[in-house]
Amino acid sequence: MRFENKVAVVTGAGRGIGRAIALRLASEGASIACVSRTIENATRVADELNAARSDSARSYSVDVANHREVQTIGTEILEDFQRMDILVNNAGITRDALSMRMSVEDWDLVIDTNLRGAFNFTQALERTMIKQRSGRIINISSVIGLIGNAGQTNYAASKAGLIGFTKSLAKELASRNITVNAIAPGFIVTDMTGALSEEVQKSIASRIPLGHVGQPADIANAVAFLASADAGYITGQVLCVDGGIVMM
């Protein structure tokens, strides 16, 4: 129970990697603020957590790209839980297209959700961590932010930006005993990747040194480590959880 009496906010908690992170942190005692674009998804996961441990989770709905609304939700979360220990900026989307065909709207939507969203939630909650002189901020980036990918210039830019954001924020907050790190998942089985054909998925798996794709639990395990006291001397780092694909 490494996170007993700790409070964690997980954005994009309604499904996939975010849900797995919420479940993992809750399994070790954390109370969870489940944040999703839709209240239905957030509530479903919060109910799942509360079924295992009464009143351990609450649900919140917000567009992470909307700065004003995120500040309001941040205030609500702090009123509900009275403290803040772990922030996992996981919310993210894709809108893939070759750069010559990509609409400005799709560029802005991905940047605003994936990058601005992390800034918005961090700004809403970091003051409380600073006052506590403790905290963990974990940003979910992607190996695409490190190596790029054709047809994903918007996504790659947002995830690479998140790495720069992580390193700069780590320098700002280190004196307050707050660590800031990023996780760069490789190919993880989610609803998003499930839309790919079986042939494409096999092709991707063949390029992974470990020979298989990852699961949401693999990312949740890494988050639990970086959120724990065991990672207290680690900050400003990018942890690739990718089966080794970035080595290639």
Burial 99-112 (b: 16+ CB within 10 A, else e): eeebeeebbebbbb
C-alpha–C-alpha distance, residues 129 and 168, integer Å: 17
Q: Which residues of the chain have pLDDT under 70?
A: 192-197, 200, 248
pLDDT tens-digit readout, 52-91: 988 899 999 999 999 999 999 999 999 999 999 999 999 9
Sketch the domain layout of the chain as residue ranges: 7-235
pLDDT tens-digit readout, 152-175: 999 999 999 999 999 999 999 999
C-alpha–C-alpha distance, residues 213 and 143, integer Å: 13
- Residue 9 belongs to what H/E stretch? strand 7-11
Cα angle: 34, vertex 17, 231; to 5 degrees: 85
Tell me, what DSSP letter sits at residue 114? I
Q: Is 155 a catalytic residue?
A: yes
C-alpha–C-alpha distance, residues 126 and 33, integer Å: 15
pTM value surpassing 0.85: yes
Q: Which residue has the tokens 């941040």?
A: 74
List the catalytic residue out of 155, 163, 224, 227.
155
Residue type, 114: N
Give the CATH H-level superfamily of domain 7-235: NAD(P)-binding Rossmann-like Domain (3.40.50.720)
> What residues pair up with 178 in beta bridges, in sequence order?
135
